Amino acid sequence: MWLKPEEVLLKNALKLWVTQKSSGYFILQRRRGHGDGGGRFTGRLVGALDAVLDSNARVAPFRILLQVPGSQVYSAIACGATAEEINQHWEWLEQNLLHTLSVFDNKEDIVSFVKGKVKALIAEETSSKLAEQEEDPEKFREALVKFESRFNFPEAEKLITYYSCCCWKGKVPRQGWLYLSINHLCFYSFFLGKELKLIIPWVEVQKLERTSNVFMADTVRVTTANKERDFSTFLNISEAFRIMEQLADVTLRRLLDNEIFELDPGLQDPTQITKRLPRREKLHEVVDCSLWTPFSRCHTAGTMYTSDSYICFASKENGCCTVIIPLREVISIEKMEDTSLLPNPIIISIRSKTAFQFIELKDRDTLVENLLQRFKEVNSSNTWHCNNLQNNNQNSLPFGSMCTLGDDEPACLGTEASHGKEGSECEKENNYLLNAEALRSDFHQLGMPGLDFGKSREQIKESLWDDHFVEYGRTVCMFRTEKIRKLVAMGIPESLRGKLWLLFSDAQTDLASHPGYYVHLVEASMGRCCMAREEIERDLHRSLPEHPAFQSETGIAALRRVLTAYAHRNPKIGYCQSMNILTSVLLLYAKEEEAFWLLVAVCERMLPDYFNHRVIGAQVDQSVFEELIKEQLPELAEHMKDLTALASISLSWFLTLFLSIMPLESAVNVVDCFFYDGIKAIFQLGLAILEANAVDLCNSKDDGQALMILSRFLEHVKNEESPLPPIGNHHAFFSDDQDPSPVTEIANLIHDSYEKFGDHSVEQIEHMRYKHRIRVLQSHEDTTKQNVLRVVIPDVSILPEDLEELYDLFKREHLLRCYWAGGSAVPERHDPSRPYAEQYRIDAQQFAGLYRLLSPWTCGEHTELLAHRTFRLLDDNMDQLIEFKALASCLDVMYNGEMNEKIKLLYKLHIPPALTENERDSQSPLKNPLLSTSRPLVIGKSNGDAVDYQKQLKQMLKDLAKEKDTKTEKELPKMSQKEFIQFCKTLYSMFHEDPEENDLYQAIATVTTLLLQIGEVGQRSISLGSGSDEFTEDLQPEASASEQDAVFTDTVKSPHKDSQPSPVTEGDWTVSFEHILASLLTEQSLVNFFEKPLELKPKLENAKLNQYSLRTNGMSCQSQSERAKPSMQ
């Protein structure tokens, strides 16, 4: 065990200890008298002394010391009762610390680092023991408190686990704590007076791998777009890496692939057995136990997995025995008497007159209580199951679920009670229309002579299966062993194929659990016009057209109903090409409703994410297949440098389970193996095919020739034992004039695949999927990003590299909301099926956060208000969400726009829809006497010159009047006085803390006065009824200056006289965008302010550092966030 480092003196202890191993910094010692057979007198004396001491005072016979070269003071860091235990600690030090210590410059740093690491290991060891015993959760609570205080995440950021480890910064390791939460990998270190905090969102992880570097033999490398981070010296690196893999996989699927925004129910290793359960199932208990296996007449050690509706068992010896027990098949769960031979036993009885005995169950009482509770819930949700439990004839159904409806039972019970007589008649009509038998029966009616050999082989196979059923069971609860795998590899008999597919996939349970469901789907979907329906109709006659069953309307109609019903059930998938070929074969061997549930099992459980518009699942498995080729067929991989060509060829193997490229009578044997072993069977068969053609592939000149070689080989894979007549494959790639290829027997090919490549377990394949799914999803994200940037770059002047960083910030803002915002509306904001530019969108609150970080127009407390106005302006369709292009265009104007573009944007922000009625009526801050309209319009300059603004105003109005006649662009609405006041307020706020603040205030005061007078001139002319003509006359050049001055003098001297008595409305005072722009152009300081060059890059760098803190502060305490806003500009 690891010890808290304590100093010891070796000078007087050398006679009690013998050094067995030593390195530069560590010494492994054995105490004399232990392990040397008594030896010399000193050893015997020390051994006797240790033997008579009290147990609490005895010294462990082995220890490891930390030594500092040149010092007599050593520190004990580990001890052990056996040589094996102490050697494990020594090996850990050699692998994880020994090479690391050379990077430190002085001895004190080495001692401090090692002692800190050992203390951390002790803490982790203690916490893991407590977690295993479930005696004290205090350690985890303590870690949770530290996690929350160090990273300040909202409560929704759940901590999963934590580890002591080192994070490498260059060549220097930083000892600290690694925290794994549902959305982030976080690291904290306080070492040698320096604090380090690291936050890596799982969704930004592009690669996760175990590797090694110069100093460490085993590290975990986390790669993001910009950086690689290495973590090492874990107490249990395998466990840490496994959980990191699963968390990254769960989060990426959840956030990037539009999965449900909830954490997956468990992070346990997937197994052959649990991967067959419906994806909605939540894993509750994982318990070590032993199951009585009557065929071997002994108890088999393994693991029990319990979920919402299932009890599963998998033996520890891979392939020895697995069992799936749906709770709906269970009659009783009982505890038996505890004996020395049968410790903690329980008996689970099922409806097929079979019982399963489990023993050695820890915490049996709690387990049984939980099972009984879920058993009641399952039965209560299937009341018809309980009512018919007593009445079912157990022997009448030779296969699987005893809940399968008979021909005389109603097809729809308890699903839609509101149907009246018309509904019942409609149901009867639909039941009549559905195929009651598999379509292969029609084909067998066309039986051909000369198939006696095949039929005799079928009879032998049926006999073997009957014998197997007697010994291992014939329901969904059968014992699944290596023997059944061998029978499957030989090919399932035609008469049993459909039933066994239902059992192996557990589609039988779905069928029995949803009586009448398919009938109602057919009713609801048939006759509806949709895109999926059009695609289905287009592909109906391309589905096994060479098979007689699909040369008649009966087969075509059944195929149409199944595909249309599934598209209606799962609109997220709808219909995808290759589903028609798979469904055609399912209909050959299963009844129509059974074929539907088999399709559900394949699309939603056995081949997840295969059948959608992005085929993520198929792409992931192609990447896994490439890795397996490199591992299993290195010579072929070496010759074919680019394995993507092979992956593109093999894609159809995975999508259609070889049905589209292999003769049907051979391909159905592959489907047999798939339903029993899952995707593992396709991987190993693909490797066997490549190995059989490795020589020819190595000699191929190009991808086209490689495709031809594989196509010819697959076309000549025959099944001589099949009772079916050979059916030509219309997907053949070769012509008849080519030399005939040698025939390969499908049974031999499958046998070779199991013998040579069957050693990969489902767990191993799933771990490979984790790694490659990260790469595939991130590749799709990069594609989305590049497409969005390609659309936006031509329309803005922002540098491409800055635009890329801006996109990353925009996406991260969206994801931050996804992490902690409850999730109800989040899925609506990210949909990978939408156009690239619309996949990520943000709401007003998220936009305000980005605005505070990125906008150059910082206005103190006014910033938040301006941000919301900007959002309303950009939200063209008023759906409360904006896309990236809108944000980029807005910032482009702020940073790179001409002055008139910037003023136009500011102008739009102060008229509807950006400015709301409430904001328009807010109290004006313009109480400064500088804004009085009674100010003289001649301003003295510092150099003594004077500028006559009356002349400038007259000339400006005249120019605007002329320009108005020729302008074709749609004019902006005029601004009312209250809107103008808000506009001025924004300008004043923008100038705060600017180096030229005083000059800008003076200039804006002058311009504001000028614009107020312009508005009042217009108001006066309208109130007098003079119209535009009379107003224009006042501006004629030949008019005398005194007359022109009188216009302004009257306006200035009597503003209240004109406004109070006369019924002038607020809308009568207006000013246009052209007035404002022309007025601002008269002040050079304002022109300089709006035309000075601005850099976006510093803002982007600051935003990357502060985006998380701004969000976490805002979500943890809104009031604190409000106070902190000015400091985050």
Q: What is the 3-state secondary structure of 455-521?
A: HHHHHHHHHHHHHHHHHHCCCCCCCECHHHHHHHHHCCCCCCHHHHHHHHHCHHHHHHHCCCHHHHH
Q: What gap in Å lies between CA 862 and CA 683, rounded to an integer?
A: 61
Q: Is 110 helix (H, G, I), strand (E, B) or coil?
A: helix
For residue 280, pLDDT beyond 60: yes
The pLDDT of residue 759 is: 86
pLDDT higher than threshold 70 for residue 1021: no
Residue 894 contacts residue 905 (beta carbons within 8 Å):
yes
pLDDT at residue 334 is higher than 90: yes
Question: In the numeric block, which tokens belong to residue 1001?
Answer: 């205030």
Contact 497, 665 (CB under 8 A): no
CA distance 334 to 347: 5
Give the pLDDT score at 126. Answer: 59
Instruction: Determine the residue type at 361.
Output: L
Task: Give Cα separations from 1091 to 235, 925, 983, 996 (angstroms).
Answer: 59, 26, 19, 14
Convert the pLDDT of each residue in 938-953 to its tens digit: 444 444 444 555 565 5
Name the helix (H) or strand (E) containing 285: strand 283-293
Q: What percent of the chain has pLDDT over 90?
A: 36
Residue 1058 pLDDT exceeds 60: no
Q: Which of 220-224, 424-428, 677-681, 723-727 has the lowest mean pLDDT?
A: 424-428
pLDDT at residue 740 in the model: 63
Using pLDDT thresholds of 50, 70 and 90, give the confidence band for residue 454. low
Distance, in Å, from the CA atom of 452 to the CA atom of 839, rounded to the nearest integer, reads 60
Quickly tell me which residue has 């033999």 as its tokens.
217
> Which tokens go with 342?
């049968």
Residue 1059 is which amino acid? Answer: S
Higher confidence at residue 99 or residue 852? 852
> How much is the pLDDT for 452?
58
What is the rounded distance in angstroms from the CA atom of residue 383 to the CA atom of residue 421? 23
pLDDT of 124? 67
Alpha-helical regions (H) of 855-948: 862-874, 884-896, 899-908, 917-920
pLDDT at residue 279 in the model: 67
With bands split at pLDDT 50, 70 and 90, how would you rate the model's confidence at 532? confident
9 beta partners: 73
Q: Among 21-30, 178-187, 392-401, whose mean pLDDT is lowest?
A: 392-401
Element (H, E) at 254: helix 237-256
**Percent residues over pLDDT 70 in the chain:** 74
930: CB partners within 8 A, 6+ apart = 1001, 1002, 1005, 1008, 1009
Whether residue 154 has a cis bond before it, omega within 30° of 0: no
pLDDT value of residue 794? 94
Contact call for residues 480 and 321 (beta carbons, < 8 A): yes
Mean pLDDT, residues 220-244: 89
- Answer yes or no: are the C-beta atoms of 618 and 653 closer than 8 Å: no
Look-up of token digits 């070590």? 288
Q: Which residue has the higher pLDDT, 825 or 694?
A: 694
**In 382-420, which residue ranges form alpha helices assigned H by DSSP?**
383-387
The predicted model gives 145-152 an average pLDDT of 89
What is the pLDDT confidence band of residue 416, given thresholds at 50, 70 and 90?
Answer: very low
Residues 6+ apart with CB under 8 A from 532: 564, 567, 571, 574, 575
> What pLDDT shows up at residue 491?
92
Among 136-145, 173-182, 784-793, 1107-1116, the minimum mean pLDDT is found in 1107-1116
As a whole number, mean pLDDT of residues 1023-1039 equals 43
Instruction: Give the side-chain half-sphere CA count within 13 A for 371.
Output: 29
As a whole number, mean pLDDT of residues 1013-1032 equals 61
CB 220 within 8 A of CB 210: yes
What CA–CA distance (Å, rounded) separates 401 from 970?
72
DSSP 516-574: THHHHHHHHHTT---HHHHHHHHHGGGSSTTSGGGSSHHHHHHHHHHHHHHHHH-TTT-
Higher pLDDT, residue 419 or 43? 43
Q: What is the pLDDT of residue 262?
A: 39
Q: Is cis: bond before 794, omega within 30 of 0?
A: no
The pTM (predicted TM-score) of the whole model is 0.73
Of the candidate ranges 399-408, 803-812, 1030-1039, the one whose mean pLDDT is the lowest = 399-408
Q: Is the pLDDT of residue 383 over 90?
A: no
Q: What is the pLDDT of residue 356?
A: 95
Residue-averaged pLDDT of the chain: 78
Which amino acid is it at 803? Answer: L
Per-residue pLDDT at 293: 92
Cross-strand partners of 80: 62
- CA 419 → CA 313, 422, 423, 424, 792, distances in Å? 42, 7, 5, 7, 54
Does residue 153 carry a pLDDT above 60? yes
CA angle (40 as vertex; 37, 43 as ends), nearest 5: 70
Q: Any bridge partners for residue 306, and if so which?
A: 285, 311
Best CA proximity match to 532, nearest among 557, 584, 582, 568: 568
What's the pLDDT at 442?
61
**How many whole angstroms separate alpha carbon 613 and alpha carbon 574?**
9
Highest mean pLDDT of the ranges 375-384, 544-553, 651-660, 1029-1038: 651-660
761-777 residue pLDDT tens: 888 898 899 999 999 99
